Structure 1
Amino acid sequence: MASPEGVLNGSSSDIQADDKTLVVKPEDQFVNSDNNSNSDAEKGQVSQEVLDWDNDPHNPYNWPAWKKGMMVFTISTMGLTISIATSISSSSVGLLQQEFGVSRTVALLPLTLYVVALGLGPVIGGPLSETIGRYPVIMGGMLLGSFFTIGAGFVHNFGALCFFRFLTGFLWAPVLANAPGSLSETFMPKTRGPVSALFILTPFLGPGLGPVIGSFVSVDKGWRWTEWTMLFFAAFTITLGCFIGETFHPILKRRLAKKRGLEVPPLPPVSERIKTFAVVAAVRPLLMLFTEPIVSFICLYVAVNFGTLFSFFGGVPYSFGLVYDFDIEQSGLVFLAIVIGCFLGLATIMACEIFFYRKQAVNYPPHKIPPEHRLYPAMLGCFGLPIGLFWFAWTARKDISWASPAVAIIPFAWGNFLARYGFAGVFPLFTIQMYETLGIHWATSLLGFIALALIPIPFVLYRFGPTIRAKSKFETHKYE
């Protein structure tokens, strides 16, 4: 998904250029976030000078501070809602087993299918937002996903529950995919860093808050109230969404041109638009995944780290229940350590922005800062993952206080926040079997060894990124 990972590669934060017309020249097709050659909305020749776009109040860069603040608050709240839904049902596994008569592994499917859907949704939602606009995709996705959340709350068939949870995740996922783009279209680069960091925090807080909320709600009210809780969150965010608007510049420019009676060339034929959509949504991403080393390694790095985080949804309650006799509510509270780690991660990102990134920015022309300089947080955080995992693995013992493995989750969450959907979805399915077979110490250590093996990735990308990008088969932004 397009998501908080943008902080690692600078794709949404640093790529800006002068936007003169609604048409994109081939050599500029990957340069301007306002202009994307895959967008049907930009197929025109309306001059920016005629529109006076730089000074127009319809330009999101010129929105008043309250409207920009509302936009950030809204998409951040949506991100928090969507991410809470990834883990809120983790405390209801036993209740699902009892009601539907399924095994523990099967009872985890509503959780895992939701997470898998979060990885698939942006494949459609991302390109679609550059055809009809970001606002319809974001609001439409939240609204339709809420209807399926209602279905999940009323259902009495386990297969239908899995189906509704999958569709909810699929429809809500494009919100996370489009949020970084909306931020880059609303804030200029010099003010975008802190705002992006605040948004990045919310999707990471959800997996920590979800089990806490779910443990208390499901014990007192039953598992269906986890769905009603998510519905309340979603209704709140949809209400907030009514006060924000479109941010995609090509769409706004076409609307402004029509409003002023300017001639706007027609959009391409439907057949051409469908073909372009298919290439952008399916063919190109797969091609880049298997032929572009930077894409491959970042996806591997993010997927494994995110998957390890989700394995904790099964591993933490199992470990604390077995070793310390924690009940569901007590185990849920342990996940607050993830929240603490996320806030420390936010502080680290801000520090890297101030002390590393901005100092490098003065050495390059405007908007020409190589994306490798966005890797500083990952280069720090990659050490937090194995440290937290090994610490947890070998202190989760009856002769050591529960506080030690609980605190160990903090550096793990810190590192995961600085680093980071397919792997994440399937990890919980084998977590308990892995812990039962290997034991708490070696099962968690196995995850630690995997995190250890991934440490070189951000350093290799930082050192050899320009060389690798120069060999890309795809036209990329020029930083020199």
Structure 2
Amino acid sequence: MTTPPIPTMDRTIDEEKQIDGPSPADTTDSDDTVADKASTDSDRARQAAEWDWNADPHNPYNWPQWKKVAQVVNISSIAFVASMGTSILSAAPTQLQAEFGVTITQSLLPLSLYVFALGLGPVFGGPLSETVGRYPVFLGGLIGGTLFTLGAGLTHSFAGLNILRFLAGFCFAPSLAISTGTLNETFKPVERGIPSTFFVLMPFLGPGIAPVLGAFITQRKGWRWTQYTMLFFCALSFLLIIPLGAETFHPILRRRRARALHHPLPPSIPLSTQIRTFATITVLRPMHMLFTEPIVGLVCLYVSLNFATLYTFFAGVPYTFSTVYHFSTEQTGLVFISVVIGCVLGTLTIILCDIFLYRRQIPLHPPHSVPPEYRLYPAMFGSVGLPVALFWLAWTAREEISWASPAVALIPFAWGNLCVFISTLQFTVDTYTGSVVASATSANSLTRYGLGGAFPLFAVQMYEKLGIAWATSLLGFISLALMPVPWIFFKYGKKIRGYSKYETPTY
């Protein structure tokens, strides 16, 4: 929990003296009181003068290890819940069509609107977390997301379902964005590798595990229970965050600590400046970088189309395996276990690349000056796996070939998707500095979830018109066309960074 200011009684006593005048005790013991007060003021002055935030036990960098691990578990559990919501309804379109009398495209709106909201939520949640703190945004978002998820399960209006799903995603979304800040504020760079990898794995596991759960729940209990099931995971997050959650945003913690020690407080930032900063970092600059910075533009395009392909599978995989292999809803859901396996393998790949490829560059370069391009090894490997997986899936999903072949093809796709995303994100973070990093990642989030939400809306029509082989091959050709992106940045990254309008490393 956050550390409240240490209460003192001096101001209360002084105010009473001004109102009521000195008491007999004050008059009698005036010499002792003056001496005690002088001693107290001296101690406080000494304490304030000697205060060093870097050595302060309230600094998250100095927390005990168990408290740091608790924060990773907290934010990971909320991120898992948020990502589950994207695909837990993937098996429900048929039931939604029957209950609400909607078309196949309309039945996918609750899924797409939730994904759209994941892209919009951080635009407001990120700046808010730097005003009121990370912990209130985590807790408030979890409360709001839980309530709207409950409403989505109870509503009997299709319009209401769409609105409530959008609002649930909007509330959960900031947890996916500000968690990176929490990790950066809790772990120093040398400690950040494993916690960051563990956290990033959670938003990828959610879309892989949720369709499996959703298929069984929808088939046996009905689509409403997909929302009720999310409530159980929300309850688990509450059980973790309420007793173990803590504020990690350094400026807020420093202000609280300074107030407790009667240390001079830094001047507060005017509201007009905060609004201008918000507009610049989260709206204007991301759009400018998206169209003027080759690194931001190409990385966003590559990552976004990979995510769009993943979300296309939430409609395309059920269509493929039910049409070709006559799988039931539950059997189709089990196919998504391949996505989970691929994500785990991708995590291992990133860890191995960090240990055996990136860290070997550290002794060859001065401290903190390893070129960002050395972050791209996993992306280069993963870029090969993506088109291979898509063409494999496209041309083996036929009756004369076992269902196991297209199901296994999802493993290298999920592996490559995770490798490309984390690797290019690390590359972007190392390329830019300060608040520019937040703008670059904001552009990534907006485009990623924007395309991810749009593609499922026409996925079934694309598969019906083009056929399973050519529809999936179209996605494969797109992936093949973008495959050179990490390789180009690895070879020419330094030259490309030199043309940037923003500050980038020169090494």
Q: Deviations over 1:210-256 (max 9, x none)?
A: 11000111111111111111111112112211212111112211111
Distance 1:365 1:250, change over 3 A: farther
Residue 486 of structure 2 corresponds to 458
Task: Confirm or deny that 1:308 pairs with 2:309.
Answer: yes
Residue 206 of structure 1 corresponds to 206
The amino acid across from 1:92 in the alignment is: A
Distance 1:280 1:190, change over 3 A: same
Residue 141 of structure 1 corresponds to 141
Task: Confirm or deny that 1:256 pairs with 2:257.
Answer: yes
The amino acid across from 1:327 in the alignment is: S
SS in 1 for 2:295: helix
Distance 1:437 1:123, change over 3 A: same
Query: 1-side partners of 2:127 and 2:359: how far apart?
Result: 31
CA offset at residue 263 of structure 1?
Answer: 1.4
Residue 399 of structure 1 corresponds to 400
Work out whether residues 146 and 168 of structure 2, in 8 Å CA contact, stay in contact via their aligned partners in 1.
Answer: yes
Residue 360 of structure 1 corresponds to 361
Distance 1:56 1:443, change over 3 A: same
Residue 62 of structure 1 corresponds to 62
Tell me which of the two structures has the higher relative contact order, counting C-alpha pairs closer than 8 angstroms and 6 or more residues apart.
1
Residue 21 of structure 2 corresponds to none
Task: Confirm or deny that 1:92 pairs with 2:92.
Answer: yes
Work out whether residues 48 and 262 of structure 2, in 8 Å CA contact, stay in contact via their aligned partners in 1.
Answer: no
Matches within 5 A, 1:52-131: 52-131=52-131
Query: 2-side partners of 1:241 and 1:365: how far apart?
Result: 40
Q: Deviations over 1:75-125 (max 9, x none)?
A: 111111111111000011111001100011100000001111111111111
The amino acid across from 1:351 in the alignment is: L
Distance 1:249 1:146, change over 3 A: same
The amino acid across from 2:212 in the alignment is: V
Query: 1-side partners of 2:397 and 2:214: how far apart?
Result: 24
The amino acid across from 2:170 in the alignment is: F
Work out whether residues 369 and 479 of structure 1, in 8 Å CA contact, stay in contact via their aligned partners in 2.
Answer: no
Work out whether residues 340 and 410 of structure 1, in 8 Å CA contact, stay in contact via their aligned partners in 2.
Answer: yes
Query: 2-side partners of 1:49 and 1:310: how far apart?
Result: 56
Q: Which runs of 5+ in 2 are unaligned?
A: 1-46, 422-448
Query: 2-side partners of 1:240 and 1:100: how far apart?
Result: 37
Q: Deviations over 1:54-94 (max 9, x none)?
A: 22111111111111111111111111111111100001111
CA offset at residue 49 of structure 1?
Answer: 8.2
Q: Normalized per residue, which structure has more helix? A: 2
The amino acid across from 1:423 in the alignment is: L
Residue 430 of structure 1 corresponds to 458
SS in 2 for 1:383: helix
Residue 388 of structure 1 corresponds to 389
TM value normalised by structure 2: 0.83
Residue 424 of structure 2 corresponds to none
Work out whether residues 129 and 178 of structure 2, in 8 Å CA contact, stay in contact via their aligned partners in 1.
Answer: yes
SS in 2 for 1:375: helix
The amino acid across from 1:169 in the alignment is: G
The amino acid across from 2:300 in the alignment is: C
Distance 1:455 1:343, change over 3 A: same
Work out whether residues 117 and 170 of structure 2, in 8 Å CA contact, stay in contact via their aligned partners in 1.
Answer: yes
Task: Confirm or deny that 1:272 pairs with 2:273.
Answer: yes
CA offset at residue 192 of structure 1?
Answer: 1.0
The amino acid across from 2:103 in the alignment is: S
Aligned length: 433
Query: 2-side partners of 1:173 and 1:464: how far apart?
Result: 35
SS in 2 for 1:321: helix
Residue 43 of structure 1 corresponds to none
Query: 1-side partners of 2:128 and 2:296: how far apart?
Result: 22
The amino acid across from 1:365 in the alignment is: P
The amino acid across from 2:292 in the alignment is: T
SS in 1 for 2:391: helix
The amino acid across from 1:395 in the alignment is: T
Q: Deviations over 1:18-54 (max 9, x none)?
A: xxxxxxxxxxxxxxxxxxxxxxxxxxxxx99843122
Q: Deviations over 1:193-213 (max 9, x none)?
A: 122111111111111111100
Residue 153 of structure 2 corresponds to 153
Query: 2-side partners of 1:373 and 1:255: how far apart?
Result: 39
Residue 441 of structure 1 corresponds to 469
Distance 1:185 1:367, change over 3 A: farther
Q: Deviations over 1:413-437 (max 9, x none)?
A: 1111112311100111111111111
The amino acid across from 1:151 in the alignment is: G
Residue 332 of structure 1 corresponds to 333
CA offset at residue 282 of structure 1?
Answer: 1.3
SS in 1 for 2:245: coil
Residue 292 of structure 1 corresponds to 293
Work out whether residues 368 and 479 of structure 1, in 8 Å CA contact, stay in contact via their aligned partners in 2.
Answer: no
Alpha-carbon RMSD? 1.6
CA offset at residue 467 of structure 1?
Answer: 2.3
Q: Which runs of 5+ in 1 are unaligned?
A: 1-46
Work out whether residues 68 and 186 of structure 1, in 8 Å CA contact, stay in contact via their aligned partners in 2.
Answer: yes
Residue 374 of structure 1 corresponds to 375
Query: 2-side partners of 1:444 and 1:150: how far apart?
Result: 36
CA offset at residue 187 of structure 1?
Answer: 1.2
TM value normalised by structure 1: 0.88
CA offset at residue 269 of structure 1?
Answer: 2.3
Distance 1:317 1:176, change over 3 A: same
Q: What is the percentage of aligned positions where both structures have the same residue? A: 58
CA offset at residue 367 of structure 1?
Answer: 2.6
CA offset at residue 270 of structure 1?
Answer: 2.0
The amino acid across from 2:295 in the alignment is: I
Give structure 1 regions of 4+ aligned residues with deviation exceeding 6 angstroms.
none
